[in-house]
Each structure stands twice: as structure tokens, then as C-alpha cells.
Amino acid sequence: DETIIEDNVWIGSGCFIGKGVKIGSGTRIYSNVTIECAEIGKNVLIYSGVRIGQSGFGFAPSSEGHIKIPQVGKVIIEDNVEVGANTCIDRGSYGSTIIGEGTFIDNLVHIAHNVRIGKYCAIAGQVGIAGSVIIDDYCMFGGQVGIGGHIHIGKGSQAGGQAGITKDLLVGSKVSGTPAIPLT
């Protein structure tokens, strides 16, 4: 219901496209992909096993245990994005999780609720991005980089493999290590 699939979209076997999803023209979705609560742009490549628009890890601690916070937002993936196999992109708890135009995401990446990734970023395999992170345009992350929640990564920043980013990075930062420290 209420799903829009534009012209020249290719959907592989075993996929699930949920209610209200929008998929732009020229997009290719490989096998066993689940897409819910999302708007997908034009000419997007989504490889096998990807999960888009699932509930994020939102909870509030209480004296009676954890209370689940409803995840009612969506995912917006802009044009010409590539999403690698078995990547998970959670929908926003409120508002949207956004992947900017021309961004390349490798296999096995996790992007949490309310993350905003700018245009033309490159994110290598096994990167984990915690909730409400803002990543500006043209950033690059090596394999297994971890980014803590509510951090702002400045335009053109780069992080070497396995960097642990625990605080904001200024425009053009180059960091490595855990915790991440400047390379220059």
C-alpha cells in the first residue's frame, strides 16, 4: 500500500518492500533486501542482505528495566548512493536518518537512528556509527571505524581503520587510533 516504485527499478528475489516506501528510477536492489519506512533516490545500488528502515536501538533506562522508545522516523537515501551487502540503516526515532548523494557505503556497516551523512562520503566495511551523528560532505572512514553518539564530523575529515572517534572533528581532520588522535 502507498508504495511508489518508479521506472527502470530492478528488484532481486526474496526482497520485502514495505508500505509507503518510495524508490527512485534506475535503482537496483539485489536479493534478500528489506526496506521499510524509507525514501530511496534515483540510481541507488543496494546489495544483498541490506536492511533499511528497521527500528533503532532506542530505550530509556528505568527502575523496572529498559523502556523501548518508539522509532517513528524514516530513512532518506539520496541519488547515486551505493549500500554494501548486509549493511543496516536504522530509521530515525524522530525525523529521518539521511544518506547524502553519491555516498559509498561498504559491506557490514551499521548506521544508527537519526544519523545524517553528507554528500560523497566513503565508508569502509564494519564501520559503526552511533545515533544522531552528523557527518559533513566528503568524509572518508577506513574499516572498523567506530563513531560515538551525537558527534559532529567536519567536512572532508578522514579516519584511519579501527579509529575510535569519541569527540567532534573539525573540518579536514585526519585521525587514527583509539581514542582517535590527529595524524598531523
Cis peptide before 61 (omega within 30 of 0): no
Q: How far apart are CA 173 and CA 26, in angstroms?
A: 35
- 113 belongs to the catalytic site: yes
Q: How far apart are CA 100 and CA 16, in angstroms?
A: 23
Q: Evaluate whether 118 touches 135 at the Cβ level (below 8 Å).
A: yes
The single residue of 66, 113, 150, 152 carrying the catalytic annotation is 113
Among 144, 145, 136, smallest CA distance to 172 is for 136
Q: What is the C-alpha end-to-end distance of the chain, expressed in Å?
A: 53
**Which positions are catalytic?**
113
